[in-house]
Amino acid sequence: MVSIRSISADPGSLTPNDLPWIIEHREDRCTLCGRCAAVCPVNTLKLAYMRKRMPKIALNSSERGSSFKTFVGIRQNTDVGRRCIGCGTCAMVCPNEAIHPVHNKTDRYRFQNTKNGEAPKRGGRRNEPGPNLLDRISFNRISMLTDPALDAGRHEFYMNTLLGRVLPPEEFVRRQAAGEWIPPVREIFPFIIGSMSFGALSPNMWLGLLQGVAYCNEVLGIPVVMATGEGGCPPWVLKSPFLKYIILQIASGYFGWDEIIRAIPEMQCDPAAIEIKYGQGAKPGDGGLLMWYKVSKLIARLRGVPEGVDLPSPPVHQTLYSIEESVMKMIQTMSMAFDFKVPVYPKISGSNSAKSVLNNLVRNPYASALLIDGIDGGTGAAYNVSMDATGHPIASNLRECYLDLCAQGKQNEIPIFAAGGVGKNGNITQNGMALIMLGASGVHMGKFIMQSAAGCLGNEQNRCNVCNLGICPKGITSQNPKIYRRLDPDKVAERVAETFMAIQTEMKKIMAPLGRSQSLPIGMSDALGIGDKDAAERLNIRYVC
């Protein structure tokens, strides 16, 4: 049957009310400057001349009639690809507060975002707003009587952690006496800037982070380290004294490692560590993905690929037969490449099978740590279904791994680092310390530092989340100089320093009432409580109500 076409009713047609974000425009305040439309990263805004009829009501029929008024209004594009992403950049540039996006919880866009058979992809992390489990953990073992609480403002606190294989004390004493090799160990701040690649991040963002990290180390005395993610590192950084603050990541695409290996003879210092990525919390089972929009000339050169092509890394390290073999060979090879002076550890996505990876590492004398990335981890690009529904929450995964190590008496030998949604709702120190007391030696944070240091706009209501497209309105994840020049690296560095100073203070405010100051309270689970019986039982902590 031929459809009638008097109204637009395609299966995929949407009205502004169907979109996840609806632009609210106040004509009475608009100065017609056009900045909003110019800055909109998805070109959803259209300034349009519009005409409206002004009926004239009068008793005398000869005076009746209509006049017409022309005005300039905003039209919101309803194409799926050009829908409003809610970033609010329009509101940011508007001189007169005349425009802003409003979240629409009952959108129909979610049923239509599969144009051309493309499953939806985005940046960001699992869209699950509200408090997560970590936010609900409180610190309950307060020192009161026989053990007075400490003074967070005046006492000295030792808050660093260790990254690296730690020998059993007996073996250390023996090897020290015999002059044998002692595995490298780094003393670092337990909040680590998680792996975000030079490629995922803009050059200005990357530079700002590195400047901030260097400032934390060299001026503030906070030994912060940052991880690169897959995709290498600019050659000037590899040959600089700042390399010691950087964890270099090798992943299944091996992008950037040509440059790194070539730079080894010219390195002034060793990197902080080498991270071998086997999995990522945001998209378990997927390799890294840098979409073609972001493969600029610089990125192409660093990665040794042509410009403007998608760079999907395979899900596994293809050259290897099994995970056990892979872990063993790669750890040993990377250790050897850096003369057994750099800790090498794998990063895996949170999984029911994390314990078996861990137990393999326990038996590998070169394995330095394990990083487990939970389901709430962020990414620059992934399929929605991977991000939202695949993976394992970090808390219970970490806890069972830690308790497994405790049962073997190895909890000091292989530090476990936790990641995935740390600071998701802004409670970075509380989340991190909860994980530390559950058994983590430290935590990695990616999305939080983007939000805190660079003002990333993304949230769990699918605001913005276009990191994959290279159109980041703040210039954080774009490779387009016109966009990333919006971001001032000095300002990012300043925010990095401010963030870590605040974390340090908050750590003291958590540790002092617990009576702890001499060492990071790793595994101090007697301090934790949660008002959820099932979670308390699963995590083996106290149920409080």
Partner 1 sequence: MCRLAMKTAIKPFSPYSVLTAMEAMQEGYDGSGLGLLLRGLEFTDYKYNSEDPVLSGIAHTEEALGRLHAIMDERGFVLKYDHEFDTDSSKIEAGDRYKYVLRVYKKPAAWKSIDKEQVEHELMMTRLALRRDGEEHNGDLTAFSLWPDVAMLKEVGWPLGVGQALGLESGRIKSRVCMAQGRQNTNWGINLYACHPFFIQGVGTMTNGENTAFIPIKDWLEGKNYPGYVGYQSDSEVFTHILHYVTKQLKLPLAAYKHVITPLKNDELDAHPQGEFLRGLRNVCRRLIIDGPNAIIGTLPDETCMLVMDAKKLRPATIGGKAGEWAIASEMCGVDAMIPDRDCSKDFQPMREHTIIIPPDRQEIEIWSQFDQFPQTQAA
List contacts with partner 1 (CB under 8 A): 141, 143, 146-148, 150, 155-156, 158, 162, 166-170, 172-173, 176-179, 182, 185, 187, 405-412, 514-519, 521-526
108 or 410: whose CB is closer to partner 1?
A: 410
| Residue 527 structure tokens | 């301090």
- Least distance in angstroms from the C-beta of 242 to partner 1: 20
- If the CB atoms of residues 473 and 515 are measured against partner 1, the closer one turns out to be 515
* Residues 6 or more apart in contact with residue 536 via CB below 8 angstroms: 529, 530, 542, 543, 544
CA distances 30 to 16, 27, 71, 98, 154, Å, are 20, 5, 11, 5, 53
- 54 vs 269, beta carbon nearer partner 1: 269
Least distance from partner 1 to the Cβ atom of residue 101, Å: 48
Distance (Å, rounded) from C-alpha 322 to C-alpha 228? 25
Nearer to partner 1, 185 or 320 (CB): 185
Phi, psi (5° rounding) for residue 35?
-65, -40
Cβ within 8 Å of residue 398, ≥6 positions away: 372, 374, 416, 418, 435, 438, 439, 440
Of 63, 73, 83, 74, the C-alpha closest to 21 is 83
- Look up residue 147 and give its two tokens: 């053990």
CB of 510 to partner 1, least distance (A): 13
Nearest residue (CB) to partner 1, 291 versus 520: 520
- Distance CA(435)–CA(420), nearest Å, equals 11
Q: Which is nearer to partner 1, 391 or 515 (CB)?
A: 515
C-alpha dist (Å) from residue 418 to 81, 183, 348, 374, 431: 35, 22, 10, 8, 11
Whose Cβ is closer to partner 1: residue 143's or residue 333's? Answer: 143
Measured from the CB atom, the residue of 103 and 155 that comes closer to partner 1 is: 155
Smallest separation (angstroms) from partner 1 to the CB of 170: 6
Spatial neighbors of 456 by CB under 8 A, at least 6 apart, are 447, 450, 464, 472, 474, 476
For the bound state, the minimum distance from the C-beta of residue 524 to partner 1, rounded and expressed in Å, comes to 6
In angstroms, give the least distance from the CB of 527 to partner 1: 8
- Closest to partner 1 by CB, 150 or 453: 150
Angle subtended at Cα 220 by Cα 216 and Cα 226, rounded to the nearest 5 degrees: 15
Q: Which is nearer to partner 1, 204 or 525 (CB)?
A: 525
Residue 195 beta carbon to partner 1: minimum distance, rounded to whole angstroms: 25
Count of other CB atoms within 10 angstroms of residue 32: 9
Write down the least CB distance from residue 344 to partner 1, Å: 17
The CB-based long-range contact list for 313-319 (8 Å cut-off, 24+ gap) reads: 313/230, 313/251, 313/252, 313/253, 313/255, 313/287, 313/288, 313/289, 314/252, 314/253, 314/287, 315/252, 315/285, 315/286, 315/287, 316/252, 316/278, 316/287, 317/252, 317/278, 318/252
* Of residues 411 and 465, the one with the C-beta less far from partner 1: 411
CB of 458 to partner 1, least distance (A): 36
**In the complex, minimum distance from the CB of residue 102 to partner 1, in angstroms, rounded to a whole number:** 49
Nearer to partner 1, 56 or 155 (CB): 155
CB of 404 to partner 1, least distance (A): 11
Angle between helix 447-454 and helix 203-215 axes, rounded to 10 deg: 90
Least gap, CB of 434 to partner 1 (angstroms) = 15
Q: What is the maximal distance between C-alpha atoms in the chain?
A: 113
DSSP string across 113-159:
--GGGPPPEEEE-----S--TGGGEEE-----SSSPPP-TTTS----
| Closest CB 179 distance from partner 1, rounded Å | 4
Helix (H, G, I), strand (E, B) or coil at 493: helix
Residue with smaller CB distance to partner 1, 182 or 337: 182
> What is the C-alpha separation between 183 and 167, in angstroms, rounded?
8
Please answer whether residues 165 and 410 qualify as being in contact, where contact means their C-beta atoms are separated by less than 8 angstroms.
no
Minimum distance of partner 1 from residue 516's CB (angstroms) = 5
What is the DSSP secondary-structure string of 389-435? HSS--HHHHHHHHHHHHHHHT-TTTS-EEEESSTTTTS-HHHHHHHH
Instruction: Identify which of residues 7 and 177 has a Cβ nearer to partner 1 in the complex.
Output: 177
CB 440 within 8 A of CB 402: yes
Q: Are strands 65-76 and 45-56 parallel, antiparallel or unpaired?
A: antiparallel
